[in-house]
Amino acid sequence: MRRNLLLSLIQKRFLQTSSSSFTVQFLVNSCGLPLQSALSVSKKFQIDENNLHKPQSVIQFLKSNDFKDTHIAKTIEKWPAVLHSRTEDTLKPKFDFFIKNGFAGQLLPQLIVSNPDVLRRHLGSHIKPFFEFLKPFYASNEEIVEAIRRAPWLLSIPLNGDMQLNTDFLIKEGVSIDRIAKLMQWQPRVMGQKHDKMVYAVAATKKLGVEPGDSMFVRVLAVLVIVSESTWRKRIEVMKSMGWSEGEVLCAFKRFPPLLTCSEEKIRGAMDFFFNTMELGRQSLITYPYFIGFSIDKRVRPRYNVMKVLESRKLIEGDWNIATPLTISEKKFLLNYVTKYADKAPDLLQIYGGSDKSKRTHSL
């Protein structure tokens, strides 16, 4: 009996290994997945080599809808169960609806790749009602398409009672339709939060002196919905421990709401560099709180180093405001402060970041 049990276990392990091996081969050869991704997918998803009709028909269906090989591979990497979908009964009606509502050509595969979860949503009880829900917030179908294209996870928000309650509540509080629309694009999950949490966040935002008609209202609101009160209180205490008053922290927060979503490590590291290396005063960070959100190693330090070299070599003279070199785009910074002085300071590119920056310069 023990021998039979051992044989059974060996056979089961062999079958599992064989199935996994076939799944990997299929994912690589038929779906275009890289080997490492295929191995990862095969640990949680199997394809029966004796029943290939569904996966083959799904691949063919995707190709017939302008999906390139890379689109197919990425979709399956994110949601391999799509290979078990029924093309005529499940996928086609959804694809037809999206195409009819503006997701034509490459917009459709781009949508699916960015959010394959939409294929799991029921057409009649979720996708169609959600399009109807969005209509009052946008002037045209094209704007709805653009909103979803920019925030594809919009279509994954549960269309529940809280969503409608939160929308009605914000409108009643005086938040304009266009700002609610922007909130749904910036932080789509905010609108699906529990209604009592939304009520609390609106009250807390108004308590800070930010009113529903203010341009920053929805940005502050989003942070107070997403971040728990205990967490953002801790962030305030961290900044107070570094010499800020609570009033200064809240002033900076209202100018740059993501401030209180930064980790304690991020806040301390940024403060240390700005105060001790750049010798900025606290008032500068209150005026430009978004500096704290910048990457010190990738953006602030390299740009500051370039500016100090230009200053020390008298290539720029007089007082200069660090806000300009820190906030302009990478392309403009390279043009205005690096390549512009290439003849007089050929080492600037190396100081700024070396070969990686060089590639960007040559592409300008």
CA–CA distances in Å: residue 96 to residues 87, 102, 137, 203, 243: 12, 10, 23, 43, 59
- Per-residue model confidence (pLDDT) at position 98: 96
- Per-residue model confidence (pLDDT) at position 10: 38
Rounded distance, CA 157 to CA 154, Å? Answer: 6
SS3 295: coil
- Per-residue model confidence (pLDDT) at position 32: 92
Q: Give the relative orientation of helices 161-173 and 195-207 as an angle to the nearest 10 degrees.
A: 20
Q: What is the mean pLDDT of each run of 10 residues along the chain (364 residues)?
A: 44 46 90 91 87 92 94 94 93 96 94 93 92 89 89 82 91 94 85 92 95 95 92 92 94 94 94 93 92 95 94 84 91 93 91 61 44
Token couple for 228? 């728990």
- Per-residue model confidence (pLDDT) at position 16: 44
Token couple for 266? 């991020």
Q: CA quadruple 314, 316, 319, 320: dihedral positive or negative?
A: negative
